[in-house]
Structure 1
Amino acid sequence: MNKKYRISPNEDFVDPEETLAGSRGHVSTMEHPVSGSIFQIILLGIVFVLVFYFIFILRLSVVSGGDLRSAAIRNASLSYIVSPPRGTIFDRNGQTLAFNLPNFKLLLISRHASIKSLENGAGLRIAQILDISEAEVEADFNRISRESVVEIKKDISKEQAVQLGQLDIPGLVVVSEPERVYPHGSYFSHIIGYINNVSEKDLNRDSYYYLRDKIGRTGIEATYEAILRGEHGVINFSQEHVDPQKIVEEESGNSLVLNIDSTIQQDLFDSLEKALRSAGLHRGAAVIQNPNSGAVLGLVSFPTYDNNELQDSLTQDQVTRLFQDSNRPLFNRAIGGLYSPGSTIKPLYALAGLNEKTITPQTSITDLVGFITIPNQFDPNIVYTYRDWKIQGTVDLRKAIAQSSDIFFYSVGGGYGNIKGLGIDRITKYLRDFLADKALGIDLAGEQSGFVPDPTWKLATKGEPWFTGDTYNISIGQGDLLVTPLWLSTYTAAIANEGIIYRPEVVNKIVNKENETLELFEKEIIGQVDFDLADLRAVQEGMRQTATTGTSRLLANLPVPVAAKSGTAEVLKGKSSNSLITVYGPYQDPNFVLSVVIEGINQNQQGLATQVAYDFLTKYFAKNL
């Protein structure tokens, strides 16, 4: 029978008085305090133990730390991340514009390597194969105590890789990683862009990247980075296996087929370069598109650069040449340069005036002196003079476009004589209908929006009201109105195709390594301007006359009829101007639209952009008839 265990309330009960020491007892029941010497002994013991551990840890970290760290490096299982090949970039006809070549790199794996491997002349042999000093080889081998993987040299040849493999030195490994190649260099650099080493910001922003990766910085390489970059491979260096084991195979990125035509691109490049060189100039841009889709067939910006140079660290000379040159070779003027359009804007105002019934195709003016005068709107005693570039005589709408009559378009925009004029509000409305103040959305980084000035802006920024003279300036493409060469060709395309504004597109489709289409980019309408077809025909006829009897009559010598509008925009009064032209053709059935801008011309070079267009189109029609 189990006995229940319980505590009796009477057992071990202590009366209050029993806690007191008896004054008459022979043995005191009160406890005595512990002696202070005991605490001193305990404290000394603790100090001794702490000192012992401190000395032990110090010995581990300082005296034996290097050996232990080396042992840890040698014993750890190491994974080496291999950057994947980027996708190939092709032009519309399958010509390769960017591809990869294997780049052999010599590594030293610490867990398998030993400085003793350099004995018996092995170090000298490595040095001879790599064309470096034996001391450099020894220095690299001495790094194995501090680094798990030592990169001895990159960009070694295949022959060097084979010779190194035949040495059979433990821990000495050759790996292959892709190197980007741009076979046409500067011809396509402002389209393709370039890749360069990832930065700390890139690593923090996207967990995809590793320290040895490269990333697209500009152009197509940047816009389509996620498409092109592929998936990493992994090489494992384990204690059990001397030879590296590839546990994950790298996968190349998808490829791109562009709308760019290599022949068109190179011919346009050569034509612009020749004109700049002959004139002693450095800056210009040109764009050619299909007006029926927005597809970009060619795009050139000067000065240019060789994108093969920018993949690795730069020399000081390269930094100076590429990043400190005042001409800014990396700047894509075709999509980012902002220019006064000059007289190339006049067809737009002609359409606006016709649409608003301000003028008709038969409206004419007579100019016998080459200028007009108007009084100040606030003080009639002050008179302003607005000049034409020559005395025009009598001109109607078509001839005004062809001969680029400033007085006719002063009248269309700001009003003069019997022509009431559009006024600044309607001018800005039509400019914005043509998206002159918007980025068009081309698939290249760096596109700038144009700028359309108006009275509200001028008052807020300059503290001045809007004058009639401001309207006159904007009516001939001068003043504060700014557009890009890309916009110039896109707006002209809308005249050629009867009113549709397409998004400019460089890439046509994405394909995989089997060349199967993954995504096809269809043409995209981003705007539409509605004009009476008869009004459009009148403006088109004026542009055709420009290319036959007008300011761009040089184009009459082409084997195929084209329509055009040239212009000169003053930058520094009397000193520097820009030469511009926009052309489309064939006139009856357009399949291209071209714009050219050349910066910094003098008074004797006003037709320079027309010369570029003529030189290029001569080659274009010779190959496309």
Structure 2
Amino acid sequence: MEHFVKDSNTITDSKYVWSKRILIFFIIVLLIRLWDLQIMRGSEMRMLSEQNRIRVKKVVAPRGVIYDRNGKILAETRPSFNIYIIPEDIKDFNQTVDGLAQLMNIERDEIIEKLKAASNMPSSFPVKIKSDVTMDDVAKVEAHRVYLPGVQIQIEPKRYYNYGKTFAHLIGYVSEISDEELKKKEYKNYSPGDFIGRYGLERSYESFLRGIDGEKRVEVDAMGREIRTLDIKEPIPGNNLYLNVDLEVQEVIDKALENKRGGSVVIDTKTGGVIALVSRPAFDPNKFVSGISKEDWQKIALDTRHPLQNRVTQGRYPPGSTFKIVLALKGIEEGLINEKTSFLCRGGMPYGGRVFKCWKKGGHGGVNIHRAIVESCDVFFYNLGLKLGIDRIHEMANIIGLGRKTGIDLPGEKDGLVPSSQWKQRVYKTPWYEGETLSVAIGQGAVWLTPIQLVQLASFVANEGVNYRPQIVKKIVSPEGKIIKTFEPELNASVKLKKDTIRIVKDGMKGVVNEGSGTAYGSRIQHVSMSGKTGTAQSVGEKGKNLGDHAWFIAFAPSEDPSIAISVLVEYGGHGSSSAAPVAKAVTETMFKEKKDIKEAKLNGYR
């Protein structure tokens, strides 16, 4: 019995010893682990702890403001409420994604795609899900915040275009950068959710308008909500653009072209500064900033009127009778015609087995160069075209700058075409025929120009052989008011022409508007003289349908000392005299308002 008790005690003591040893072992392991975490890796662990508690958030920099020539704001920034997801704070992926999709009426796949696009960013990086939500949407998200871990609302500056469609093709728009663009080296300084200039000045001056983002360190709770801001590095706003554009003139053209297709541009003849540039139909740039819906995008993309096209810089059309000014300049300059040169117009000109018709069926009778310009006689210019030949016509057009890009500070400008015998041989491997010259002589056939190129023709005549590169932006100014860059006038063409050449052509263009037989006499102005040239160009409509002729008018004013040049195109507008010239008249009346006599001051002198 004593032996059994003794053995039992021995076993108990043995278990106790082993339990004690195991406990000591785990205590030693724990101490070693604590030593490693607290001493050896203490700084690393503190950093990880800080990262769980402290976040570094981007503070988006506002884009630069865009002003017109009189300091009126055309594009600025406004506060916008945007929905973000911070992947690190998501507790239940499906709960957060499905809940947000249902609450905000967003496709689940759309949310997942945006999260995937930012998968190479840190898990604490906020992924933008929806931009510019309403206050009602903000209230919904905040009310369901506890059920949507990882979802946050952030207030950020958003681009706003004060005059919407009026400046759509000139200022352009910004939109969110795409995944494909983020992969390119040129966009290495951009992050998912950033906005970038897509069109117009927004694109041309992206590097100046885009600011430098700041950042702030904030303390957050377990739900990812901000508790307090620890410190902040303020963002630097983008530089401001001051334009040569006049808001009032822009709005006048916009109204004149309402419900029409076409475009118009007005430039300062002394500098090349663009005073107005309108293309119609247009689009609302603010829709792109907020994230255009699929429905709205389809409406724009499938619109057969092509509202995204800038007709002033990208639309190429036969110039019609406006092109006759090129032949007049070259013909007089070369001594092939003078004021006494006359051709007989009986309503058409037989040539090569066919009759090339004049627009006036009964004919103009005997016509000199002055009447030919004033009344736009086709027969006169058929004859002059044959005298000049296609290569001399091409030479004069090239001197003026027609057929090539003007260099205006907008992206996507198209060149034009003024043919030559060499061009046809190179492209079609066939010689040029004289019969083709007759069509070119009246601005038809293989000649295609843009409204911005034709305003250069008007400016060339107004300046007596000189024109300048069109320039929209006048200067770039920093947020502090420091001038970063100014744009001085840049010569495009400078040719010394004979005095008779300039005098005859100028008198003819003045007569177009101010003589009773002039094709634009209906657009004459009482208090200021405007000079111009109408044009009617044959066209081919959609799917071969004839929708009517294109209407042209180019002009400069005042006739005696021109300071502005104007180009107007109305697609399928018919005659330049009735559709295009009234637009130029409205512009001229706006820029040169009639000064009313004030007689009261004189009466006061007798009191």
5+ residue gaps, structure 2: 1-47, 116-121, 597-607
Contact kept, 8 Å, 1:74 with 1:111, in 2: the verdict is: no
Question: 1:9-28, aligned counterparts within 5 Å?
Answer: none
Q: Which residue of 1 aligns with 2:273?
A: 295
User: Given the alignment of the two structures, is residue 397 of structure 1 paired with residue 369 of structure 2, yes or no?
Assistant: yes
For residue 383 of structure 2, the aligned residue among 411, 416, 421 is 411
Amino acid aligned to 1:327: R
Q: Which residue of 1 aligns with 2:58?
A: 81
Contact kept, 8 Å, 1:171 with 1:242, in 2: the verdict is: no
Contact kept, 8 Å, 1:73 with 1:147, in 2: the verdict is: no
Q: Which residue of 1 aligns with 2:458?
A: 492
> Aligned equivalents of 2:453 and 2:127: distance in 1?
51
> Aligned equivalents of 2:205 and 2:449: distance in 1?
26
Give the direction of change, closer, same or farther, for the CA distance of 1:544–1:457 in structure 2 (3 Å limit).
Answer: same
Q: Which residue of 2 aligns with 1:483?
A: 449
> Aligned equivalents of 2:381 and 2:127: distance in 1?
71
Amino acid aligned to 1:184: Y
Give the direction of change, closer, same or farther, for the CA distance of 1:132–1:347 in structure 2 (3 Å limit).
Answer: closer
> Aligned equivalents of 2:143 and 2:295: distance in 1?
39
Q: Which residue of 2 aligns with 1:594?
A: 566
Deviation, 1:200, is 2.5
Q: Deviations over 1:165-200 (max 9, x none)?
A: 999989886533111000100001111000001112
Contact kept, 8 Å, 1:232 with 1:250, in 2: the verdict is: yes
Give the direction of change, closer, same or farther, for the CA distance of 1:260–1:206 in structure 2 (3 Å limit).
Answer: same
Deviation, 1:319, is 1.4
Amino acid aligned to 2:579: L
Q: Which residue of 2 aligns with 1:104?
A: 81
Q: Which residue of 1 aligns with 2:600?
A: none
Aligned-partner SS, 2:438: helix
Deviation, 1:534, is 2.3
User: Given the alignment of the two structures, is residue 564 of structure 1 paired with residue 529 of structure 2, yes or no?
Assistant: no
Aligned-partner SS, 1:571: coil
Q: Deviations over 1:208-231 (max 9, x none)?
A: 111110000000000000000010
Contact kept, 8 Å, 2:131 with 2:290, in 1: the verdict is: no
User: Given the alignment of the two structures, is residue 334 of structure 1 paired with residue 334 of structure 2, yes or no?
Assistant: no
> Aligned equivalents of 1:624 and 1:505: distance in 2?
30
> Aligned equivalents of 1:319 and 1:153: distance in 2?
17
Q: Which moved more, 1:314-323 or 1:491-500?
A: 314-323
Structure ID, larger Rg: 1
Q: Which moved more, 1:293-302 or 1:523-532?
A: 523-532
Contact kept, 8 Å, 1:499 with 1:529, in 2: the verdict is: yes
Contact kept, 8 Å, 2:348 with 2:358, in 1: the verdict is: yes
Q: Which residue of 1 aligns with 2:171?
A: 192
Contact kept, 8 Å, 1:563 with 1:585, in 2: the verdict is: yes
State how many pairs are aligned.
515
Q: TM-score if structure 2 supplies the norm length?
A: 0.77
5+ residue gaps, structure 1: 1-70, 377-382, 415-420
Deviation, 1:610, is 1.8
Contact kept, 8 Å, 2:265 with 2:277, in 1: the verdict is: yes
Contact kept, 8 Å, 1:74 with 1:112, in 2: the verdict is: no
Q: Deviations over 1:346-385 (max 9, x none)?
A: 1221110111111112211222x211213x4xxxxxx222
> Aligned equivalents of 1:252 and 1:517: distance in 2?
15
Q: Which residue of 1 aligns with 2:578?
A: 607
Aligned-partner SS, 1:547: helix
Instruction: Name the Cα RMSD after superposition.
Output: 3.4
User: Given the alignment of the two structures, is residue 386 of structure 1 paired with residue 356 of structure 2, yes or no?
Assistant: yes
Aligned-partner SS, 1:227: helix
Contact kept, 8 Å, 1:558 with 1:617, in 2: the verdict is: no
Deviation, 1:345, is 1.3
Q: Which residue of 1 aligns with 2:10?
A: none
> Aligned equivalents of 2:416 and 2:69: distance in 1?
29
Give the direction of change, closer, same or farther, for the CA distance of 1:351–1:107 in structure 2 (3 Å limit).
Answer: closer
> Aligned equivalents of 1:151 and 1:444: distance in 2?
30
User: Given the alignment of the two structures, is residue 307 of structure 1 paired with residue 291 of structure 2, yes or no?
Assistant: no
Q: Deviations over 1:409-468 (max 9, x none)?
A: 111111xxxxxx111121111111111121010001121111121223324444543111
Q: Which moved more, 1:448-457 or 1:186-195?
A: 448-457
> Aligned equivalents of 1:86 and 1:588: distance in 2?
43
> Aligned equivalents of 1:575 and 1:109: distance in 2?
55
Aligned-partner SS, 1:188: helix
Q: Which moved more, 1:550-559 or 1:207-216?
A: 550-559
Give the direction of change, closer, same or farther, for the CA distance of 1:467–1:575 in structure 2 (3 Å limit).
Answer: farther
> Aligned equivalents of 1:197 and 1:150: distance in 2?
12
